[in-house]
Amino acid sequence: MHAADALIAEQIRAVLTAAEEGDGTAPIVEAGDPVLRTDTRPFDGQVDDAELEKLAEVMRATMLAAPGVGLAAPQVGIALSMFVAEDPGARDPEVAEVRQREPMPLRVVLNAGYERAGADDVAFYEGCLSIPGYQAVVARPRTIALTGTDLQGSPIAEEVSGWSARIVAHETDHLSGILFLDKAEMRSLATNGSVAKFWHQPSTQKAAAELGFALPSGLVM
């Protein structure tokens, strides 16, 4: 086994051990840790199917406990191309409509990649479990083409739209060492408390006008 693959296997087993000895979750790595800036390696049998499935369970439990809607392997200290995502959707009908935030069932994706699948960009506040306490507006494609494989090794090739596309793109970016702040409108940067106090609207039009940043193609999203 390649040394890098052996290291990934070691990282996976360390996470599984920590979860077993604790509450079933793993510690989340925060910004500044080099693993968040490392290109991940594809899954290529570094561990067996049972360990891989257990890792997916631990990552999902960690994501839900945080709470969050997505988690990539680097965020638990593993330089592997893998993420989990699950979103209950927006409760507020207006938010659901403006943000195109519909429920997304649990998905586990290995060796993920994406490309834009349309000309439209939309810009909304987003945060990251590895950068706790802060959010910023990020413009992302409304629709993306996702590729990868599932836990059973079956290929994934599909278009994902709306808020689900934002989640998937955010998590896939982690696999290339990219954090959401790398793509954010930095004039929009705010604490979670400030977002709740000032920018708790379905769109980011008000935030853009008052904080002084542009929205893509004149959109009011």
Confidence at 220, pLDDT banded by 50, 70, 90: very low
Amino acid 221: pLDDT: 44
Amino acid 71 reads: L
pLDDT at 216 over 90: no
Amino acid 55: pLDDT: 98
| Mean pLDDT value across residues 179-204 | 97
**170 appears as a binding residue in the annotation:** yes
d(CA 42, CA 110): 7
Active site residues: 171
pTM as predicted: 0.95
Amino acid 218: pLDDT: 47
Helix 49-65, helix 3-21: angle, nearest 10: 60
**174 appears as a binding residue in the annotation:** yes
pLDDT at 60 over 60: yes
Half-sphere exposure of 96 (CA within 13 A, CB side): 10
d(CA 208, CA 85): 28
The mean of the pLDDT values for the chain is: 96
User: Is 102:89 a contact under the CB 8 Å cutoff?
Assistant: yes
**2 appears as a binding residue in the annotation:** no
d(CA 99, CA 90): 9
